[in-house]
Amino acid sequence: MPYELLAPAGDMEKLKAALTFGADAVYLGGPRLHLRAAPTDFDAEGLAAAIRYAHERGKKVYVTVNAFCRNGDADALPAYFRELRELGADAVILSDLGAVTICARETPELPIHVSTQASCVNYAAARAWYELGAKRVILARELSLEEIKVLRDKTPPELELEAFVHGAMCMAYSGRCLISAFLAGRDPNRGGCAQPCRWTYSLVEEKRPGEVFPVYEDEAGTTILSSRDLKAISFLDELAAAGVSSFKIEGRIKSPYYVATVTNAYRKALDHAAPLKELEAELRCVSHRPFSRGFYYGEIGHEPPSPDGYTQEAVFTAVVLASDGEWLTLEQRNRFAVGEELEVLSPNSTGEKLTVTAIVNEEGERQEAAPHPRQIVRVPCRLKLSEGDMLRKKIKDKG
């Protein structure tokens, strides 16, 4: 198959951003058993609309059903798989062995993608999933490029391999974490992760209760369990050579701006449409932890902590609703003002900028700034921008 860029779609706005900025397919949660209990899922009606929107543009939708299944869940799966089939889902992402066998038996025409939660790290497991009916295996994030090559060589060529290339990485093996369930009563493997790995921790000595000693990791805090963010944009060709055909971006709970920026960068990287240095700079324009190459070059060694924590070099200011060649109609997302320079984020261009010379509200009144969330305003602009393009403002003293 040709290389696929797969992006997250936590809601309809993110789905549209992903497809506008170059994703070939999106993955999202439906009404049941996905791993994001935050408001990042679609009900049946919303799912139908999402699939219809994607298919009208020649794109695909994969539905996550990868939470750990209990007995009651297994009872409901046959009807749910039939519902997803009727809605037109292009595949389901599963991690539970029982769910895979139920799907293969009840809806054999519904393609199965085995989730990274299944921790597939060897060719024997990949073969077994294929024999059970899987069309694709989403590789465990702990595999190296060399291990992927061996797995590819020893599995049927019809079995597709997908791998994560960008975004947050869980400190637990393949995301199988129990810390959230223990500390917050929210089971990560049922979609309820409270992200306790990013909390601040202290040390208490057994015989000195009440005496709390901070565990110093860096100046930003003591998030000693928090991993770095994966970034593979510089070695996509090596992943392809190893046998990966679908490149997956993490981030269903991230913002539409994040989805657009990262998808745009990886689309241009896959198409060799922009210099790598420019694309690396793009990725620094969204909120991220220090970057890592993950396990792709072998075991992760000790990486010195960064004093920055989460950083970003630009702020999302507005989304373009319309352009007539003279004026842009914008929906404000963060404050911007007359006299400021904004950068354009668009799949159709790179490096364009505009200086805000005027801001006019819906009543036709001029104002010096756009401070109100989601306010509709107009600004003069002769650039050829399209609906869905975005504007951002660089943060001073960053890069």
The answer to whether 239 and 163 have CB atoms below 8 angstroms apart is yes
The answer to whether 221 and 198 have CB atoms below 8 angstroms apart is no
Q: Is the pLDDT of residue 130 over 60?
A: yes
Of the pLDDT bands very low, low, confident and very high (cuts 50, 70, 90), residue 351 is confident
- Tell me how far apart the alpha carbons of residues 150 and 123 are, in angstroms, rounded to a whole number: 7
- Beta carbons within 8 Å of 63's beta carbon, 6+ residues apart: 27, 28, 29, 30, 34, 47, 84, 89, 91, 92, 93
Which has the closest alpha carbon to 188: 281, 295, 29, 66? 66
Instruction: Express each pLDDT in 242-269 by its tens digit.
Output: 999 999 999 998 999 999 999 999 999 9
Domains and CATH numbers, the chain: 4-169+227-292 (3.20.20.70), 174-214 (no CATH), 314-394 (2.40.30.10)
Position 39 scores a pLDDT of 53
157-171, 275-289, 350-364, 375-389: segment of lowest average pLDDT: 157-171
Position 190 scores a pLDDT of 52
pTM of the model: 0.86
Which helix (H) or strand (E) segment holds residue 13: the answer is helix 12-20
- Amino acid letter, residue 122: N
Of the pLDDT bands very low, low, confident and very high (cuts 50, 70, 90), residue 182 is low
Instruction: Express each pLDDT in 116-126 by its tens digit.
Output: 989 999 999 99
Beta strands in 157-271 (DSSP E): 160-168, 202-204, 212-214, 229-231, 246-249
Quick one: what percent of the chain has pLDDT higher than 70?
82
Position 162 scores a pLDDT of 98
Instruction: Express each pLDDT in 385-397 by its tens digit.
Output: 999 999 999 997 5
The answer to whether 84 and 63 have CB atoms below 8 angstroms apart is yes
Of the pLDDT bands very low, low, confident and very high (cuts 50, 70, 90), residue 399 is very low
Of the pLDDT bands very low, low, confident and very high (cuts 50, 70, 90), residue 222 is very low
Q: Is the pLDDT of residue 165 over 50?
A: yes
Q: How far, CA to CA in Å, does 317 sit from each of 191, 256, 374?
A: 31, 12, 10
| Mean pLDDT across the chain | 88
